[in-house]
Amino acid sequence: MKPVRAPSTQLLRAEVLEIHDESYVVVRCERNGQLEHGCDLLHTSEQSNLLLAPGDTVLVWFADSETERGVVLGRLGPSHAIPPDPNPLPDDLVLEAQKTLTLKCGEASMTLREDGKVLTKGTDVVSHARRMNRVKGGAVSIN
């Protein structure tokens, strides 16, 4: 009976060159005379993806097969990637309603009506302007 040889594998440090999507990257490391290798990314959780950027150092597992892609197991040290903003704010926000739209917080509220009337209510209402603060209307009633 012929002995069965276990496949040889390699764990190598590599540098990230390109990121194609959340599951495929190109790394640089010396292996079998080649410098660049396509690799899959190991996903350990559905909630977070490995944050990678070109220049990051990663640990890559390679199987014995020349044709099989390597697998990036993780990043070594801090990433050069800029983390995504967890609460990105939109440039513009439009809220629309047919009859009225009311913003309310405690005793304060602001209501916009379909006839164009704006009602501002609060215990104290304060208006500040860095430049001109203009009150303009067909008629202005103070007190």
Model confidence pLDDT, tens digit, residues 64-106:
777 788 999 999 998 888 877 788 888 898 999 999 999 999 9
Whole-angstrom Cα distance, residue 117 to residue 109? 14
pLDDT in tens, 99-134: 999 999 999 999 999 999 999 999 999 988 999 988
3-state class (DSSP) for residue 104:
strand
Predicted model pTM:
0.54
| Torsion region of 77: left, alpha or beta (phi above 0 gives left; psi -120 to 50 gives alpha) | left
- In the chain, what are the domains? 10-76 (2.40.50.140), 94-126 (no CATH)
51, 47, 48: which is closest to 79 by C-alpha?
51
Task: Compute the C-alpha angle 93/123/98, nearest 5°.
Answer: 35
What's the confidence (pLDDT) of residue 87?
Answer: 82
Residue type, 36: E
